[in-house]
Structure 1
Amino acid sequence: MNSRRGIELPGHDGIRLAGDIAGPEDGFPVLLLHGGGQTRNSWGRALNALAERGARAVAIDMRGHGDSDWSPEAAYLPEHFGSDVENVTRAYSALCDDRPVLLVGASMGGIAALIATGPLDTLVAGLVLVDIVPDVRMDGARRILDFMNAAPDGFASLEEAADAVAAYLPHRPRPAATEGLKRNLRQQPNGRWNWHWDPRMVREVLNDVELVKGGLDDAASAVRVPTLLIRGLLSDIVDDEGVEHLRGLVSHLEVVDIADAAHTAATDDNDAFVASVLAFANRIAATTH
């Protein structure tokens, strides 16, 4: 059965994580983890494409995002997201008859997947990092955090929010319609529109951007499963030095470059992204049968 439906999975410390699942029940399990400031909807086309090609794919809203719980203690450091991914992967693998799961993480979701992969051991079939490495460019990381913190009082209209997104993603054409933004915004009683994420999420990291790197070298060194980095060549987060640094930690690393994509590589060129993930998953499946 390929129809898409909602699912709820357990995070760490009682955090409830909302998600969507699609694809045949006996398909290759794939867990899609979005970046900071995004939701599971950022994987919409990829989720459907993977399911249509036989994968059993789940996309979740990370803690503090979308329809998932906010942390009462504002616990939003990389290790907290990593603990969520550990819990979710164990639960999802159990739903898939204990088969190992391919983790696909973009940006913050990739950091969480990287942290979780070592402890999960044989429950992970492989790891796909979407434009994220331990040694990120700090100017790019700061730009993301500044965007997430730029409108604490929200927007007067969807048009105003669309202008903010267009300025943040100048390599993309500004959408003519703004209705799609409602998936990422919440309208307040005063009529203003706020982003869906917990605003406390970025405050601690804004004071020390280096927190996004905490412990990632050790986490990468513990990765033994097949690992693929999908990099957008227009990215201001991942550069050649960052790729080589990761290769020094994960000697079996594979790298795919997407020419016309930036940090949002999975959605900038969805077809190239899906093709890369499927080819990688098929290689893994071929070696485990």
Structure 2
Amino acid sequence: MVFDIPALPAISRFPVADLSLAVETRHPAGDPTLLFAHGFGQTRGAWSGAAAALAETGCRCVTFDTRGHGESDRVVSGDYHMDQFADDLLRMAAAQPQPPILVGASMGGLLGIVLAGEVRPAPFRALVLVDITPRWETVGVERILAFMQAHPDGFADYDEAAEQIAAYLPQRRERKSEQQLRPLLREGADGRLRWHWDPALLAGGVVQESERYQPRLQAAAAKIDVPVLLLSGARSDVVSRATVDEFLQLVPHARHVELSHATHMVAGDANDAFTREVVRFVQSPAPSVDRRHAGAVQP
């Protein structure tokens, strides 16, 4: 069934503790609500294709830019921490008409794991983790950070930016157009184009905290008592067979689907397959969860 929804998403601002976030809502009358949390260095635009397709199936789809990213406010002091992002996401979830299904990629998925494991009642009715596990392969994360740090002086024009993105994502057949790049770049006073995110993010606590977060993430994962779908990319360098197996031991009721042609950028690499699996998960009966084992961290 195709639903009659507005062609353009409703754009709004959502106040959090000390700033406001840019939010888009597709199919506001839909049910269930899917709340999308993007990865470090991304924007809500990473979900545009998936959110539009899932809204067509009847879901209410909410995407937003995390603090310091995209059109959301930046922290004036430049001091960013994981707990700030987690609190923002918790507030976003609480503001929905009913507990949402969280779709979290990379950092967004890690925040979802922490909140689903530590907060009671759980702020989400289910969890879709996109190529992320409580422990990850350092080499993949280092590759992401290296790209983010590679162009501190920005780009002369959109063509130069498109060329660098194509080199970073060789699996993508289509080169990004200027229209696609505009939400990702900001023009500075010197006329050069720089990424949408606050440069202070790379120097702040988020990067330094990530490795130390792993024991907390593992403990939280073992306490998750809502349905979970883990979607991983077969060509990912961030998750591996070992990290997936470890996660499935911590969350034995989780379902895992590997998308054969995807890297860490699952939704962008294989949007049709990604959307299909999310629809299947949303429409399937909720699996039973053995709560007796919730909180038992596997060795």
What is the TM-score of this pair, normalised by structure 2? 0.88
Corresponding residue of 2:76:
72
Corresponding residue of 2:221:
220
The one-letter code matched in structure 1 to 2:275 is: V
The residue correspondences of 1:122-161 to structure 2 (distance < 5 A) are 122-161=122-161
- Preserved contact between residue 102 and residue 126 of structure 1 (Cα < 8 Å): yes
The one-letter code matched in structure 2 to 1:148 is: M
Secondary structure in structure 2 of the residue aligned to 1:105 = strand
More helix by share: 1
Corresponding residue of 1:89:
93
CA distance in 1, matches of 2:239, 2:194: 29
Give the CA deviation at 1:10. Answer: 3.2
Secondary structure in structure 2 of the residue aligned to 1:121 = coil
CA distance in 2, matches of 1:196, 1:276: 30
Q: Which moved more, 1:18-27 or 1:223-232?
A: 18-27
Secondary structure in structure 2 of the residue aligned to 1:2 = coil
CA distance in 1, matches of 2:152, 2:121: 40
Quickly say closer, same or farther: Cα 1:269–1:63, change in 2 above 3 A. Answer: same
- Preserved contact between residue 78 and residue 214 of structure 1 (Cα < 8 Å): no
Aligned alpha-carbon RMSD (Å): 2.0
CA distance in 1, matches of 2:264, 2:99: 28
Corresponding residue of 1:109:
108
Give the CA deviation at 1:189. Answer: 2.0
Quickly say closer, same or farther: Cα 1:178–1:211, change in 2 above 3 A. Answer: farther
Q: Which moved more, 1:253-262 or 1:122-131?
A: 122-131
CA distance in 1, matches of 2:88, 2:209: 23
The one-letter code matched in structure 1 to 2:20 is: R
Secondary structure in structure 1 of the residue aligned to 2:221 = helix
Quickly say closer, same or farther: Cα 1:71–1:195, change in 2 above 3 A. Answer: same
Corresponding residue of 2:296:
none
Give the CA deviation at 1:48. Answer: 0.8
1:2 aligned onto 2:1 = no
Deviation string for 1:230-280 (max 9, x for gaps)?
001010001000001111211111101110000000111111111111111
The one-letter code matched in structure 1 to 2:187 is: Q
Give the CA deviation at 1:211. Answer: 4.4
- Preserved contact between residue 234 and residue 261 of structure 1 (Cα < 8 Å): yes
1:275 aligned onto 2:276 = yes
Aligned length: 281
CA distance in 2, matches of 1:43, 1:161: 20
The one-letter code matched in structure 1 to 2:93 is: T
Identity of aligned residues (%): 38
1:20 aligned onto 2:38 = no
Structure 2: unaligned runs, 5 residues or longer: 289-299
The one-letter code matched in structure 2 to 1:84 is: D
The residue correspondences of 1:122-271 to structure 2 (distance < 5 A) are 122-175=122-175, 177-204=177-204, 210-211=211-212, 213=214, 215-271=216-272
CA distance in 2, matches of 1:190, 1:120: 49
Deviation string for 1:150-208 (max 9, x for gaps)?
11111111111112211211211251633311110001121100100011112245567
Quickly say closer, same or farther: Cα 1:54–1:285, change in 2 above 3 A. Answer: farther
What is the TM-score of this pair, normalised by structure 1? 0.91
- Preserved contact between residue 226 and residue 284 of structure 1 (Cα < 8 Å): no
- Preserved contact between residue 162 and residue 177 of structure 2 (Cα < 8 Å): no
- Preserved contact between residue 30 and residue 55 of structure 2 (Cα < 8 Å): no
CA distance in 1, matches of 2:121, 2:169: 36
Structure 1: unaligned runs, 5 residues or longer: none
Deviation string for 1:95-137 (max 9, x for gaps)?
x2xx221000011111111122231534311000000011100
Secondary structure in structure 1 of the residue aligned to 2:180 = helix
CA distance in 2, matches of 1:31, 1:251: 24
Quickly say closer, same or farther: Cα 1:195–1:19, change in 2 above 3 A. Answer: same
The one-letter code matched in structure 2 to 1:70 is: R
1:63 aligned onto 2:67 = yes
